[in-house]
Amino acid sequence: MISHRIEGKSVCGTCRRRQPEAKEACIRCGHDRLVQNRTADGPICPQCAPGKIEPCVHCGRERRVRVKFLGGATCDPCFSIIRGTRRPCPRCGTVGLVASVADDGTLACSACTGVRSRFICAECGVEDIRNGKRCYPCLARIAIDDLFAAGTPARRRALEPLRQRLFEHPEPKSMARWPGRSASAAILCEILTEDIELTHEALDRHPTVQAASLLRHSLVDVGALEPRDTASVQFMAWIDTFLQGRPEHITRTLGPFCRWHVPARIRLFVQRNGITDGTFVRARRVCRIAADFLAHLDTDGIELKTAPQDAVESYLDRYPRNFEPLAVFLRWASQRGIAERIHPVPSPYAIPYTAYPIDTYRAWMHRFATDETIRLRTRICGLLAGISGRPSTTIAGLTTASIIDDTDGMQLRLGATPFQLPPPLPALIRRQLATPRRWDTESTWIFPSKLRAGEHVHASRFTTELQHLNCGLVELRGAALLNLAATMPVAPLCDLTGASPNVAARWQTVAASAYAQYPAIRPRAEPDHSISVRSRANE
């Protein structure tokens, strides 16, 4: 329909609104927008124009009317909810847009009302949540196709599995915006155009470290890159950066320790216990404290080779929390002959443990079992830590292979022998497994990561979420270990908690399990009449 004539040319309303001169400064908000009303004071934009005020038929509040084709006067918040929310139809129960008016004036899906929906995608013809005239799945497909269209044919063929995986993303609204605002998408564009190589080394050199790491996980997950021990490579690169700028006489000692001893120690621990999220965190801390101790000696003018034991004790008096990492360095220096007079000091803690009192422990376990306001994965982590005494690194790395779900209940295998999970843990874990996956829908992780494709959620997320509730994971595990150590022998305790026999024995000592039931099971001693007989004979 022709609405304007500009320079002798007929223009429709849509094209007219695209003209720069169609927008004027609003007298109320000051923004350059289309004119809704003209007053004696000047133009008013659609956002500032008063419009018609009526009670909304959905929420009952008197607000400005946005539309009237949804059963009556509909305000803007209700209109946004109706057109942007997928929910079950009150008549047939089908999940979709409930945005058609039935004969009785209520809202239902278009299949139940028999009315053509006003929210059909112009691209695919499906009724869905839209942005403009297209639904978000179509917008996501168009955005991804545009991103890959800029690449070379060879790179497009190599990254075709990633393209198909992006199409299957369960959050099309996020994926439609991802190519235009994500740093990972910008790196992917550089790979597609062959500005950077499709290799781990090229991603290592990229200045945007976090985005490159997230993209690396996606490329490895779809097979575009070979799997690699990225944590070890990043740790060795961190050592190079860590040693730069330090005095030469300190680097001569610190370099071999950080480059040779610490990586060898990491490999030994990984072979024994497997890699965890805290493996390289602890290794970095050992390197930092070794450097700090050497700097402390250098400040006092003391050489490591002739340093007395008092230097170690004075340092630990100032920094008592550095005891364990410093012991690693001192043991290495003593064995290599670099330090002749100093050695690790005994542990200052005879029985090191931290645990909640039993009443506090039971209160937290009850809250995790009943409080629906707590995040689902946080509740599961709290209950598992409070039952088994396992750390968050073990819980975060659980897979569906660890779950045995049958008619008799649900069992969890943490060691050699599975154990029965008490209610409500089975129901909570089933809810967690039914949660939509953001990346790989076939992942076996119970807690998959939303950002790192093919990986589980980082264990620090559990610790942070529990801290927000003022719950300490260490104290919760300590209470669980005390409870288990007081009632279980060493072998089952090690299998359930993952502790070594020595650690399990120390926890039993703390829990006094060797003596807790001693008075009850001790056989009653018979009186020794021989003493009295001998005494009478002597008389």
| Distance of alpha carbon 256 from alpha carbon 250, whole angstroms | 11
Residue-wise pLDDT for 121-148, tens only, equals: 888 888 888 888 889 999 999 999 999 9
Predicted confidence at residue 2, as pLDDT, reads 67
- Spatial CA neighbour of 53 closest among 83, 75, 26, 82: 75
Half-sphere exposure at residue 72, Cβ-oriented, CA atoms within 13 angstroms: 15
Query: What percent of the chain lies above the pLDDT cut of 90?
Result: 35
293: how many CB neighbours lie within 10 A of its CB? 24
Burial class (CB in 10 A: 0-12, 13-18, 19+), 230: middle
The pLDDT of 158-169, averaged and rounded, is 91
Half-sphere exposure at residue 377, Cβ-oriented, CA atoms within 13 angstroms: 24
∠440-235-291 over CA atoms, to 5°?
150
- State the virtual CA torsion across 222, 226, 229, 231 in degrees, nearest 10: -50
Predicted confidence at residue 364, as pLDDT, reads 94
Predicted confidence at residue 4, as pLDDT, reads 67
* DSSP per-residue letters across 409-444: EEEE-SSSS-EEPPTTHHHHHHHHHHSPPSS-TT--
Residue-wise pLDDT for 36-92, tens only, equals: 788 888 888 877 877 778 888 888 888 888 888 888 888 888 988 888 888 888 888
* DSSP per-residue letters across 157-219: HHTHHHHHHHHT-S-HHHHHHHHHH-HHHHHHHHHHTTSS-SSHHHHHH-S-HHHHHHHHHHH
354: how many CB neighbours lie within 10 A of its CB? 11
Do 456 and 449 meet the contact criterion of CB atoms below 8 Å apart?
yes
Query: Residue ranges of the alpha helices (H) in 207-277?
Result: 209-221, 230-243, 248-256, 262-273
Residue-wise pLDDT for 400-415, tens only, equals: 999 998 877 899 999 8
Predicted confidence at residue 347, as pLDDT, reads 63
Residue 100 belongs to what H/E stretch?
strand 100-101
Residue-wise pLDDT for 302-345, tens only, equals: 999 888 988 888 898 888 888 889 999 999 999 888 888 888 87
The single residue listed with the structure tokens 């002749």 is 340
Residue-wise pLDDT for 180-189, tens only, equals: 889 999 999 9
| Distance of alpha carbon 243 from alpha carbon 79, whole angstroms | 60
Contacts of 371 (CB under 8 A, 6+ apart): 379
Inform me whether the pLDDT recorded for 23 exceeds 80: yes
The pLDDT of 11-28, averaged and rounded, is 81
